[in-house]
Amino acid sequence: MTYNNVSERPELRDRVRVFRNRAHAGEVLADMLSSYGKIEAIVLAIPAGGVPVAAAMAERLHISLDVAVVSKITLPWNTEAGYGAVAFDGTMRLNEGLLPRLGLTDDQIQEGIKQTTQKVMRRVKRFRGDRPFPDLTKRQVILVDDGLASGFTMWVAVEALRNAGARHICVAVPTGHGSSLPRLASEVEALYCANIRGGFSFAVADAYAAWTDVTEEEAIALYKRLAPPD
């Protein structure tokens, strides 16, 4: 199925280990989004893994870099799997279709929301300090992460950016599952995914030859090197 606002690199479809690392993935995306270097745009990274990708894009396109802190609400027994997400402005959504199958109690859900909200607010403070969030009303936003699995966290991020006044949002991810793209594509003006993959088993890490977790400290150091001064 074709979506008019989704762009990919067809030669990378259903391939694995197509990027050397996150920086290389950002360079590939920047080449796909070269037209954004000629307009008033800003790259917003979802920490932590999205920061190296977004930093490479911002440098190559010569546009500003900032962060949009969003975090999934993870399961008590599996911190890789989530059942919702919280954004920097307090926007919170639960995956209502998934929750009935998880067997979580109301107390567990509320505790997960509380802990995730605290994590997001702490990250906002660590990354941005007291600097106000950028004015998005007259800029085209490029929202970046290192990959798209279910797309739920990115969907919540888009909602928060709309709340912040963003009128034109482009989502850019190096890799993503084809089944997650349609819902997200319907919420944004453009979606760029260099490496679209299908299949029952999908892992963002499989798109990279070299994959390591990005620590918060590494992401903050890279962000502060490239972000506008306070």
For residue range 187-215, list pLDDT tens digits in order. Answer: 999 999 999 999 888 999 999 999 999 99
Whole-prediction pTM value? 0.93
149 or 208, which is more confident = 208
- Quote the pLDDT of residue 229: 63
Say which DSSP state 148 is in: B
Q: 98-108 pLDDT, tens per residue? A: 888 888 889 99
Cα separation, 106 vs 154, in Å, equals 24
Hey, what domains does the chain have and what are their CATH numbers?
Answer: 18-224 (3.40.50.2020)
* CB 107, CB 122: distance < 8 Å: no
- Quote the pLDDT of residue 77: 81
Q: 119-138 pLDDT, tens per residue? A: 999 999 999 998 899 999 99
- Which residues are CB-contacts of 141 (< 8 A; sequence separation ≥ 6)? 41, 42, 44, 161, 166, 168, 169, 170
Cα separation, 112 vs 115, in Å, equals 5
- Which residues are CB-contacts of 185 (< 8 A; sequence separation ≥ 6)? 3, 5, 6, 191
Cα separation, 64 vs 109, in Å, equals 37
Residue 59: φ, ψ to 5°: -65, -45
Q: What mean pLDDT is predicted for residues 66-73?
A: 95
| Alpha helix positions (H), the chain | 22-32, 50-61, 106-128, 152-163, 181-185, 216-226
Mean pLDDT of the residues in the chain = 92
- Quote the pLDDT of residue 101: 85
Question: Residues, the chain, total?
Answer: 230
- Quote the pLDDT of residue 1: 44
Token duo for residue 215: 């620590």
Q: In which band, very low, low, confident or very high, does the pLDDT at 61 lie, cut at 50, 70 and 90?
A: very high
Cα separation, 84 vs 22, in Å, equals 25
- Quote the pLDDT of residue 2: 53
Q: What mean pLDDT is predicted for residues 155-168?
A: 96
